[in-house]
């Protein structure tokens, strides 16, 4: 480890922040756009470097920062940097932002920097710093389009961001109280000890990161925010930024340290609900990005389930962590590509080969998400299935059926997505070739990525999915899902629109906001009552003061009397008699 390694890592992570500051000089919008592709490159290079980067301290930074890049971090960084890079190039070539490009890119770069920073962070403060930077900058991405929908989405997003920040602050502080340090490994270790403080800290951290990771029921911002944001922004929101929540769980919570039943069960239930309900609600959505958002919720549900398992049976953690990593890479790439495709297919292709290529670009990531063979999706599913084999603990018996049902359901959702997004008419929204290229590369990455990423394990696992049995087990739920979709189309017109938007995007948000508004009205009423009570009290005091003033007026008369009439002798005699009495007695 050289002296400069930590600075290289830091600057790779924080380079986008420099670009973000550049955006303050808005006169130079072209420059802002021009640097877009390069901001994520150093991070990507660092992630791909074969050199190991152990944890090192940067003593002057924050409260004594610790940074490093372990395997988890490296894969998260890889996934994040790829998606950010793709989104950046896409955004640049599409000219996202128009007149307000500096604003969009400022937030974009800042969020990117935050995302990278939290990945390389090895202590709580640095992690939370990156997390906050990313979250708050994300607001700018969500609100960017600035119509009513975006404003509402951004508001919900922001409220939840603040809530998350507050919860994370409290959780981290409580965790420090047990651990006595900020290093993440120390914190995790400390939180694994039982105790009320640890329980509360874990709950706070779980919810705090859960908001970002779209854990049910804290996911409500996501189906609003993703459709509202510009396409490249939704891509990074869904593909990279919600993974930050997942990474937070992995870094802070004592998964794999000790048997934490309550944590396991809570997260398990939340995960299953997310995985299934996400699909169900997603199916009835009419807009492609909303569908993708629900798909993300459901996918994150699987990852939640994985972590839940490791809380229930800690000895499974090594296997689970690998599975999670595979899943992260897979989901980042696939979801990133799918989001970008929403923008690409706005323009129906003209030539046959371009039709073919775009068809492939559209279908492949969707298939991957459904777990089709040859893609990372199959690898991820296979990893999931392997987990029970490696452990001896009592796994929930539900696990296998859930996976199968999930695969089928995801397939249905993807069919629904393709149905909605498939170009039917010629809309003229020209898209640049570079953007198209980037999208296609990302879309096919679900196939080629395992062979490129310098991670032996992934490659071996991919090879393993190529066995006929594995292919079969990956394929049949897919087929079932497609058939089921066809049945639905025939019987229930589900896919063609009868039930469209039966559940509005943001599902739980509606009742909650109603409830909150009621509460606010009540509160206002209470405040008004208190205010009027206070006013009455103030009024009474004022009146009393006025009376006192009137009394002063009487004093004035007395004084005048004293001066004008023959009262002086009375006083002289009174004082003299008083003195004399006092002296003689």
Q: Least separation, in Å, of the C-beta of 125 and another protein?
A: 6
* For another protein, the closer CB: 432 or 513: 513
Cβ nearer to another protein, comparing 394 with 582: 582
CA distance 315 to 42: 36
CA 9 to chain CA centroid, nearest Å: 23
Smaller CB distance to another protein: residue 437 or 546? Answer: 546
Cβ nearer to another protein, comparing 174 with 338:
174
Residue of 335, 319, 330, 340 lying closest to 453 (CA atoms): 330
**Smallest distance, Å, CB 232 to another protein?**
20
Structure tokens at 585: 């007695």
What's the closest the beta carbon of residue 137 comes to another protein, in angstroms?
11
Quick one: 4 or 569, whose CB is closer to another protein?
569
**The tokens 């128009």 sit on which residue?**
98
Give me the least distance between CB of 563 and another protein, in Å please.
Answer: 5
Please give the distance of CA 247 from its chain centroid, rounded to a whole number: 11
Give the residue carrying structure tokens 């109280």: 177
Minimal distance, residue 180 CB to another protein, in Å: 9
Q: Give me the least distance between CB of 203 and another protein, in Å please.
A: 13
How many CB atoms lie under 10 A from the CB of residue 583? Answer: 7
Q: How far is CA 103 from CA 21, 55, 73, in A?
A: 11, 35, 29
Structure tokens at 271: 């995960």
Instruction: Point out which residues pair with 121 in neighbouring strands.
Output: 67
Residues within the interface to another protein (CB under 8 A): 24, 26, 59-65, 103, 125, 128-129, 132, 136, 143, 146, 151, 158, 162-163, 165-167, 169-170, 173-174, 176-177, 197, 552, 555-556, 559, 562-569, 571-576, 578-580, 582-585
Pairing assessment for the beta strands 65-69 and 53-58 based on DSSP bridges: antiparallel
Shortest distance in whole angstroms from residue 452 CB to another protein: 35
Write down the least CB distance from residue 583 to another protein, Å: 5
Burial class of residue 155 (count of CB atoms within 10 Å of its CB; 0-12, 13-18, 19+): middle
Residue for token pair 């301290």: 57
* Residue 205 and residue 171 in contact, taking contact as beta carbons nearer than 8 Å: yes
Helix, strand, coil % over all residues of the chain, rounded to 5: 80, 0, 20
Element (H, E) at 45: helix 41-48
Residue count (the chain): 585
Q: Is the peptide bond before 217 cis (omega within 30 degrees of 0)?
A: yes
**Cβ closer to another protein: 34 or 579?**
579
Nearer to another protein, 173 or 502 (CB): 173
Q: Which residue has the tokens 């298939």?
A: 367
Rounded distance between C-alpha atoms, residue 115 and residue 123, angstroms: 15
Question: Which residue number, 479 or 538, has a Cβ lying nearer to another protein?
Answer: 538
State the minimum distance, in angstroms, from the CB of residue 193 to another protein. 15
* Shortest separation between residue 531's beta carbon and another protein, angstroms: 10
Other C-beta atoms lying within 10 Å of the C-beta of residue 362: 23
- For another protein, give the closer residue by CB, 29 or 334: 29
**C-beta of 67: minimal distance to another protein in Å?**
13
CA distances 295 to 177, 427, 480, Å, are 38, 26, 18
Which of residues 71 and 528 has its CB atom nearest to another protein in the complex?
528
Beta carbon nearer to another protein, 151 or 480? 151
| C-alpha to C-alpha distances, 407 to 328, 369, 493, nearest whole angstrom | 17, 9, 22
* Residue whose pair of structure tokens reads 């995960």 in the numeric block: 271
Cα separation, 2 vs 281, in Å, equals 51
CB of 224 to another protein, least distance (A): 17
For residue 255, the SS3 value is coil
Give whichever of 108 and 317 is closer to another protein, judged by the CB atom. Answer: 108
Q: Please, which residue, 58 or 471, has the CB nearer to another protein?
A: 58
d(CA 375, CA 330): 9
Q: How many CB atoms lie within 10 A of CB 574?
A: 10
DSSP letter at 193 equals S
Q: How far is the CB of 185 from another protein (least distance, A)?
A: 18
């Amino acid at each position: 480890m050289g002296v400069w390694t930590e600075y290289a890592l830091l600057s790779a992570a924080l380079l986008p922040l420099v670009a973000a500051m550049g955006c303050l000089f808005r006169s130079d919008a072209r420059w802002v756009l021009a640097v877009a592709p390069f901001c994520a490159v150093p991070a990507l290079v660092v992630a791909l470097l074969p050199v190991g980067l152990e944890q090192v301290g940067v003593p002057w930074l924050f409260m004594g920062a610790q940074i490093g890049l372990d395997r988890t971090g490296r894969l998260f960084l890889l996934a994040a940097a790829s998606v950010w890079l793709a989104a950046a190039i896409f955004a640049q070539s599409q000219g996202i932002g128009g007149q307000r490009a500096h604003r969009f890119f400022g937030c974009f770069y800042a969020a990117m920097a935050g995302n990278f920073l939290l990945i390389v962070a090895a202590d709580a403060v640095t992690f939370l710093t990156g997390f906050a930077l990313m979250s708050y900058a994300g607001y700018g991405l969500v609100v960017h389009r600035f119509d009513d929908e975006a404003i509402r989405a951004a508001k919900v997003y922001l409220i939840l961001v603040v809530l998350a920040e507050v919860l994370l602050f409290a959780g981290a502080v409580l965790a420090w109280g047990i651990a006595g340090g900020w290093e993440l490994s120390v914190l995790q270790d400390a939180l694994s000890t039982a105790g009320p403080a640890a329980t509360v800290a874990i709950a706070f951290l779980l919810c705090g990161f859960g908001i970002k990771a779209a854990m049910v029921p804290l996911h409500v911002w996501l189906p609003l925010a993703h459709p509202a944001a510009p396409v490249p922004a939704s891509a990074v929101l869904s593909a990279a930024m919600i993974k930050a929540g997942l990474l937070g769980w992995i870094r802070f919570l004592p998964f794999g340290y000790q048997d934490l039943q309550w944590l396991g069960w809570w997260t398990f239930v939340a995960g299953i609900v997310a995985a299934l309900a996400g699909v169900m609600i997603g199916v009835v959505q009419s807009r492609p990005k909303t569908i993708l958002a629900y798909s993300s919720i459901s996918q994150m549900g699987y990852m939640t389930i994985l972590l839940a398992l490791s809380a229930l049976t800690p000895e499974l953690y090594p296997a689970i962590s690998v599975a999670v990593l595979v899943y992260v890479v897979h989901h980042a790439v696939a979801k990133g590509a799918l989001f970008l495709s929403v923008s690409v297919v706005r323009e129906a292709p003209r030539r046959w080969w371009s039709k073919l290529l775009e068809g492939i670009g559209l279908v492949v990531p969707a298939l991957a998400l459904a777990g089709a063979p040859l893609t990372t999706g199959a690898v991820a599913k296979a990893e999931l299935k392997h987990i029970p084999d490696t452990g001896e603990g009592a796994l929930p018996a539900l696990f296998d059926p859930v996976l199968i049902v999930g695969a089928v359901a995801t397939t249905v959702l993807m069919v629904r997505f393709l149905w909605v997004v498939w170009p039917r008419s010629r809309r003229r929204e020209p898209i640049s070739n570079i953007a198209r290229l980037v999208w296609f590369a990302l879309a096919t990455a679900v196939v080629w990525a395992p062979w490129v990423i310098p991670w032996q394990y992934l490659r071996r696992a991919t090879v393993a999915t190529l066995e006929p049995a594995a292919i079969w087990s990956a394929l049949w739920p897919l087929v079932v899902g497609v058939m089921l979709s066809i049945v639905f189309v025939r019987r229930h017109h589900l896919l063609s629109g009868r039930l469209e938007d039966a559940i509005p995007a943001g599902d739980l948000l509606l009742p909650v906001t109603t409830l909150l508004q009621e509460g606010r009205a009540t509160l206002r009423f209470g405040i008004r009552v208190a205010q009027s009570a206070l006013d009455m009290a103030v009024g009474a005091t004022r009146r009393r003061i006025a009376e006192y003033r009137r009394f002063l007026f009487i004093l004035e008369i007395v004084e005048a009397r004293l001066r004008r009439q023959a009262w002086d002798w009375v006083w002289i005699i009174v004082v003299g008699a008083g003195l004399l009495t006092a002296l003689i007695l």
